[in-house]
Chains A and B, each alone.
Chain A
């Protein structure tokens, strides 16, 4: 699976971020992406093959597996990573738009196209809010779909064509639970980083505005 492009995109984002933004990128890369590729993918690789039900009825396993795992944990994890990295692209697009405008008018319109001021600051704040929103949505989804972050060892299933209530066994439940808690912890860390960056930027620019107005009043 080639994640190289995502790496390239994120390193482009690195240029236009604040300090906390860079910490966020590092956390996403090392603690989430790398862990996903190196460890988590392999745990969930044969989840369907190793899901066994105490019955010979053909089709019962398929149906029970589908009922208990409508979307697999690992797919939700991957979707979360993609959705959370995408709002940073908004900032990259905005900077590209600014450079385009400068080229188009052949004049220096901005102090520097990559500097966080005016419209770019708004875009950056919006991307932060979107990132936080996506993280929270996915965490809530995880919680709702799987009744918390626990992975049971045994599930009971009685959907057609299973003739009666059947015991089905999930493979590697403890390992999956550990990694799910790890995912929860890194998501919370990223939410905290995003919120602190948001409040820092808002605080910094409101102080700037206030000082400007104060100086103007004095003059």
Chain B
């Protein structure tokens, strides 16, 4: 019996599961498929030829065998494996289809967005700059085309990469279907466990008493290897229960994880909403976005991560401001190059702030860094302050 097709399919499913899902898959493959293949083929191959009845009546053995085993154990287990793996296979198909569509959409979106940039800038330019358009346009379009090509290549790489893990599944909008397939799997497991109990019980008895026509009277029929079959039956019960427990664990894992993540997301949203308040307080006199950070380095504990986060938030806020107040020509960069220069300047100022903080706390160890700070300062000197406490970012 060739199992390679199913195992290859299960490998693909492996790339689209959570951590517990992967354990379930390994258990399925190692214990169920291997055991069924090992036990099934070798124990049950002679189950009908060695089924002997104490009678010479032709046809009696066939009829009694059919009464004893309407569905053989091996076929039942194979059916069980296939049905239990089917929800995962369907989820796989759906996930691949959806991810492929997402990749297409994001590509077309990016192309539309990049095409509309020059349109928007042309609206905001004054008539005086119209003469320069012809020289600057050829500069812009090639840049945008190069960028979109690069992004295409980047998009193709992630499409082939794994979409596994709870986070990734939720990001891709597949959580509902994942939970559905998990529930279907659990239902099938329970149904098969119950069915196995009603069909076979917990034991295979060595003697089967049969009195179907054409058997002349009650006949003793003897089953081949009943003890071995009993042991395998009990092992398969155990493996089914283990798979059921793994399904339950995965549901709990998803449940708790999702609750934790939604709580974390709520907290992050509350933090983020603080930075985006700046555009609404534009008219009231207040410090520019970076002032507070530069002025209170002693009070806050800085790590590289929190610095980078704050710089990122400031950059986001700056860009948000610039996009919202589009009519204000002072704030909009004339073209893409200016925008990139602004970001570079912002990052240099951030570096200065870090150096300033380090200088304050470790005056002895920063001698080597002072020369670097000096060169940085000279490049950004036109826009920075005295570099110590009040750096405008």
Contact = CB atoms under 8 A, between A and B. Distances in A.
B297 to A, nearest CB: 23
A89 B26 contact: yes
A2 B3 contact: yes
Size class of the contact patch on chain A: 35 or more
A173 interface: no
B164 to A, nearest CB: 9
A4 interface: yes
A70 B228 contact: yes
A9 B54 CA distance: 48
Interface in A71-93: 71-72, 74-75, 78-79, 82, 86, 89, 93
A78 B224 contact: no
B286 interface: no
Interface string B47-70: 001101111000000000000000
A79 B35 CA distance: 8
B220 interface: yes
B22 interface: yes
A62 B38 contact: no
A31 B297 CA distance: 66
A69 B43 CA distance: 12
Interface string B215-237: 00000111111111001000000
Contact of B222 (A63, A79, A96, A97): A63
Interface string A144-187: 00000000000000000100000000000000000000000000
Given A63-B222, A70-B227, A2 B19 contact: no
Given A2-B4, A82-B34, A82-B35, A48 B46 contact: yes
A75 B227 contact: no
A78 B235 CA distance: 14
Interface residues of B, number: 41
Given A48-B224, A65-B224, A75 B54 contact: no
A58 interface: yes
Contacts of B37: 1-2
Given A75-B42, A78-B38, A48 B225 contact: yes
A140 interface: no
A117 interface: no
Interface in A95-152: 96-97, 100, 103-104
Contact of B224 (A4, A62, A100, A161): A62
A6 interface: yes
B277 interface: no
B35 A49 contact: no
B30 A89 contact: yes
Contacts of A78: 38
A96 B21 CA distance: 12
Contacts, number: 100
A1 B7 CA distance: 13
B203 to A, nearest CB: 13
B2 A2 contact: yes
Interface in A3-34: 3-6, 9
B89 to A, nearest CB: 17
A58 B210 CA distance: 15
Contact of B223 (A2, A3, A62, A93): A62
A93 B14 CA distance: 13
A82 B30 contact: yes
B54 A59 contact: yes
Contacts of B231: 70-71
A131 B160 CA distance: 37
Nearest to B257: A104
Contact of B38 (A70, A75, A96): A75
Q: Nearest 5 A-B pairs (CB), nearest first?
A: A59-B222, A70-B227, A62-B222, A58-B52, A58-B54
Interface of B: 2-4, 7, 19, 22-23, 26, 29-31, 33-35, 37-39, 41-43, 46, 49-50, 52-55, 165, 167, 206-207, 220-228, 231
Interface of A: 1-6, 9, 41, 45, 48-49, 57-59, 61-63, 65-66, 69-72, 74-75, 78-79, 82, 86, 89, 93, 96-97, 100, 103-104, 161
29 contacts: A2-B3, A2-B4, A2-B7, A5-B34, A6-B30, A41-B42, A58-B54, A58-B222, A62-B52, A62-B206, A62-B223, A63-B206, A69-B225, A70-B227, A70-B231, A71-B231, A72-B42, A72-B43, A75-B38, A75-B43, A82-B30, A82-B31, A82-B38, A89-B26, A93-B26, A100-B165, A103-B165, A104-B165, A161-B54
